[in-house]
Structure 1
Amino acid sequence: MNTQTCKAISAETSLGYKIGVFGVVLTLLWIGIFKFTPTEAAAIEPLVANHPLMGWIYGFMSVQMVSNIIGLTEIVIAIGLIAGFFNPKIGYYSGILALLTFIATLSFLATTPNTWKVVDGVLTTNFFLLKDIVFISVSLLVIEHNKPHL
């Protein structure tokens, strides 16, 4: 795709793109800040502890410290996504970090015991994790939107 085509697509989708990024930023900031509370630290512990790539961290860090690091990471990514409106290189790398974060979060559906259950004959899960499907698509849009500028 050439630069002129990218600019045309960007102009056509700029409002939706900005709203999508704003939604991700708002959610990352809000949840990131909440990670500094004992309530959220305890809530994410089973998710992180049962993940094969993350559970080991509790071996040398407290539940709150792990939550703080995750929260700080989410806040930094949110700030990077905002900065990406002014600096495409920061936007590109923030999009990649956001994508990796949301893939990791979505993977909790497969790694956390008792995440899936049948309620009244309907298969259900921790639906808050499903938001990451949409957030993955916004992250990909951020990456695509900023990549031609590198």
Structure 2
Amino acid sequence: MSTDLHTVRPARTTLDTAAALIARYGLVIVIAWFGGLKFMAYEAEGIAPLVSSSPFMGWLYNIFSIGTFSALLGVFELTAAVLLAVKPWWPKVSAAGSVLAIGLFVATISFLFTTPGVTEATAGGFPALSATGGFLFKDVALLGVAVWTLADALRADR
């Protein structure tokens, strides 16, 4: 296959642009949605078993109530979403949102290793995931998107 050295390719194709917008603003929507839910009692109670079984975060319930911790987490998530969204105007600020999102996803992925019942015992255990395990496991992909948004924001700031 020969390559024409005189062919100029656009720096970014329409598909690249669409993918970048979907990745970034899809992540913004997901993080903002879950961040907003953290102010609801059912969500606060829903994350309590994950947080309480974590040696990294369980101690926070000695300081904050379940509802207060969930609301604080919601503030962090909503902040990350807003910071991610401002990349066209303030790439450095958006990079900070990416770092925050990366931290949030690393924390939730850690629950895969600290929460009882993430595998489905009736299916023989690992590698079969329970509903909770599947919910947490998808954050591996979201972590990848958050890392990409960091690289994208840093590239745009040059």
Q: TM-score range by the shorter chain?
A: 0.7 to 0.9
Displacement of 1:138 in angstroms is 0.9
Change (3 A) 1:86 1:119: farther
What is the percent sequence identity of the aligned residues?
A: 31
| Structure 1 outlier segments of 4+, above 4 Å | 9-12
Tell me if the contact between 1:10 and 1:145 (Cα under 8 Å) persists in the aligned partners. Answer: no
Tell me if the contact between 1:84 and 1:94 (Cα under 8 Å) persists in the aligned partners. Answer: no
- Write the letter of the residue equivalent to 2:138: K
* Aligned equivalent of 1:80, options 74, 80, 83: 83
Q: What whole-Å deviation, never above 9, does each CA across 1:4-62 have from its counterpart, x for those lacking one?
A: xxx93587622101101111111111111111111010000011111111111110211
Greater C-alpha Rg: 2
Change (3 A) 1:87 1:17: same
Given the alignment of the two structures, is residue 128 of structure 1 paired with residue 131 of structure 2, yes or no?
Answer: no
- Write the letter of the residue equivalent to 1:124: L
- Write the letter of the residue equivalent to 2:34: I
Q: Could you tell me which runs of 5 or more consecutive residues in structure 1 were left unpaired when the two chains were aligned.
A: 1-6
Displacement of 1:120 in angstroms is 3.8
Which structure 2 residues correspond to residues 41-120 of structure 1 after superposition, within 5 A? 41-120=44-123
Within 1, Cα distance between the matches of 2:136 and 2:13? 29
- Write the letter of the residue equivalent to 2:85: I
The structure with the largest helix share of the pair is 1
Q: Could you tell me which runs of 5 or more consecutive residues in structure 2 were left unpaired when the two chains were aligned.
A: 1-9
How many residues are paired up?
Answer: 144
Output the aligned Cα RMSD: 1.9
Within 2, Cα distance between the matches of 1:121 and 1:113? 15
Displacement of 1:113 in angstroms is 1.4
Q: What whole-Å deviation, never above 9, does each CA across 1:61-118 have from its counterpart, x for those lacking one?
A: 1100000001111001000010123211011111111111111111111111122223
Q: What whole-Å deviation, never above 9, does each CA across 1:120-145 have from its counterpart, x for those lacking one?
A: 44712321112211111111111111
